[in-house]
A = this chain, B = another copy of it.
Amino acid sequence: MPKIFISPRPVSQKYQAKIHVTLRPSVLDPAGVAVKSGLEQLGHSVDSVRIGKYIELSLDAPDAETARTQVDAMCDRLLANPVIENYAIEISQ
């Protein structure tokens, strides 16, 4: 009777990505300036305010390294504008 070999199916796991998109330090942040002024009108004293985006997404990937590569491509193509923004990615399970 012939032996049957079953190739292992790649198991994909669910990963959570937390992405911080922030304006580069040299780029003016008008929203931050407006919020600083609003806080001061409310009686709070602050030195500086910078406003960025915080994106949480979940995706399937075979391993954490692949998940990071995929999220990196998403940031470059859609989630961030690399000309004026920096991004930081945290991957967890």
Binary B-proximity of A51-66 (CB < 8 A = 1, otherwise 0): 1111111111000000
Question: In the complex, how many residues of chain A place their beta carbon closer than 8 angstroms to a beta carbon of chain B?
Answer: 32
**How many copies of this protein are present in the complex?**
2
Q: Of B47, B53, B73, which contacts A44 at CB under 8 A?
A: B73
Cα A73 to Cα B14 in complex, Å, equals 37
A89 at the interface (CB under 8 A from B): no
Complex alpha-carbon distance, A52 and B77, angstroms: 19
Bound-complex Cα distance A79 to B44 (A): 12
From A59, which residue of chain B is reached at the shortest CB distance? B46
In contact, B74 and A45 (Cβ under 8 angstroms):
no
Interface residues of chain A, those whose CB is within 8 Å of chain B, are 14, 20-22, 35-36, 38-39, 42, 44-60, 70, 73-74, 77-79
Listed A/B pairs (9) with beta-carbon separation below 8 Å: A14-B47, A39-B74, A46-B57, A46-B58, A48-B57, A50-B55, A51-B53, A52-B54, A52-B55
